């Protein structure tokens, strides 16, 4: 069995946080589950221990530890968070491990990926995660989910403005979304800012950083919902990708 590096000093120096023994064991279990799930499902290309540590664990958690910019309160418990297009569980599963007092909803439109996550919850000893097979466009118009979340996370799903259309309707007014991006251009930022105006949100912080092992460029866009989203959004399934909002 491959074992994951611990890298306590790097966690500390980059995120001012370290996994407990229990959390380190959960990361290891997650790694083992992903490697075995990968034999049946196409979950990730990232399988080497250091790469998994950096691109899945560290990257997932960097998005929720941006200094004091997240603005959901340092020690706040009972946060309702949602990860849209979670795939093999990123960033949602590392976040659920690191924040055991938060409630996480992990959503993907692919049933077999969600089934994989569901089956992993017991070995991972996670009781703060619920899984759902659905489309972001449907959830955003469902009163059980619309305007119900304090925090929404979305990584590697669509263009930034499309991701915004998926997640902003799900947030309570005052809630926060984190869009995980790689490289980030001024054009993308202009387009996102226009989309947010329509959706009732604003760009609170553009967090640029590099990954600690391979120096890869990343940008997390931290969005704040400022007013209720107009009823027309999100638009019907498939429309946000086919007809960009701006």
Residues that bind ligand SAH (CB under 6 A): 84-87, 90, 107-110, 113, 135-137, 155-157
Q: Which is nearer to ligand SAH, 91 or 175 (CB)?
A: 91
CA distance 220 to 162: 15
Tell the smallest beta-carbon distance from residue 18 to ligand SAH (Å). 23
Picking from 63, 120, 65, 64, the residue whose alpha carbon sits closest to that of residue 87 is 120
Residue 191, number of CB atoms within 10 A of its CB: 18
Strand bridging mode 129-133 / 80-84: unpaired
Q: Which is nearer to ligand SAH, 73 or 221 (CB)?
A: 221
Q: CB–CB of 96/104 below 8 Å?
A: yes
Tell the smallest beta-carbon distance from residue 160 to ligand SAH (Å). 14
CA distance 156 to 182: 9
Picking from 109, 97, 116, 96, the residue whose alpha carbon sits closest to that of residue 43 is 116
Tell the smallest beta-carbon distance from residue 165 to ligand SAH (Å). 10
Q: Which is nearer to ligand SAH, 190 or 236 (CB)?
A: 236
Q: Which is nearer to ligand SAH, 59 or 150 (CB)?
A: 59
Q: Which is nearer to ligand SAH, 152 or 157 (CB)?
A: 157
Tell the smallest beta-carbon distance from residue 138 to ligand SAH (Å). 8
Q: Which is nearer to ligand SAH, 69 or 109 (CB)?
A: 109
Q: CB–CB of 30/94 below 8 Å?
A: yes
CA distance 27 to 94: 7
Residue 72, number of CB atoms within 10 A of its CB: 14
Q: Which is nearer to ligand SAH, 44 or 176 (CB)?
A: 44
SS3 126: coil
Tell the smallest beta-carbon distance from residue 113 to ligand SAH (Å). 5
Tell the smallest beta-carbon distance from residue 86 to ligand SAH (Å). 5
Q: CB–CB of 14/212 below 8 Å?
A: yes
Tell the smallest beta-carbon distance from residue 134 to ligand SAH (Å). 7
Could you give the angle at the alpha carbon of 53 between the alpha carbons of 48 and 55, nearest 5°?
90
């Amino acid at each position: 069995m491959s074992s994951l590096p611990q890298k306590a000093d790097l966690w500390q120096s980059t995120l001012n946080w370290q996994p407990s023994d229990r959390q380190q064991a959960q990361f290891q279990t997650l790694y083992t589950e992903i490697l075995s799930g990968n034999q049946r499902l196409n979950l990730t290309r990232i399988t080497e221990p250091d790469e998994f540590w950096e691109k899945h664990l560290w990257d997932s958690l960097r998005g929720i530890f941006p200094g004091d910019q997240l603005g959901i309160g340092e020690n706040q418990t009972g946060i309702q968070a949602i990860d849209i297009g979670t795939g093999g569980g990123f960033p949602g599963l590392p976040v659920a491990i690191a924040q055991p007092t938060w409630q996480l909803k992990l959503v993907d439109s692919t049933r077999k990926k969600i089934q994989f996550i569901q089956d992993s919850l017991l070995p991972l000893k996670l009781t703060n995660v619920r899984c759902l097979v659905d489309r972001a466009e449907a959830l955003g118009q469902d009163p059980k989910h619309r305007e119900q979340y304090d925090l929404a996370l979305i990584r590697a799903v669509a263009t930034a403005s499309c991701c915004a259309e998926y997640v902003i309707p799900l947030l309570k007014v005052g809630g926060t979304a984190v869009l995980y991006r790689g490289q980030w251009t001024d054009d993308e930022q202009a387009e996102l800012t226009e989309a947010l105006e329509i959706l009732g949100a604003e760009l609170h912080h553009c967090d640029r950083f590099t990954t600690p092992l391979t120096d890869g460029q990343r940008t997390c866009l931290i969005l704040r919902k400022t007013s209720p989203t107009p009823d027309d959004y999100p638009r019907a399934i498939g429309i946000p990708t086919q007809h960009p909002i701006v």
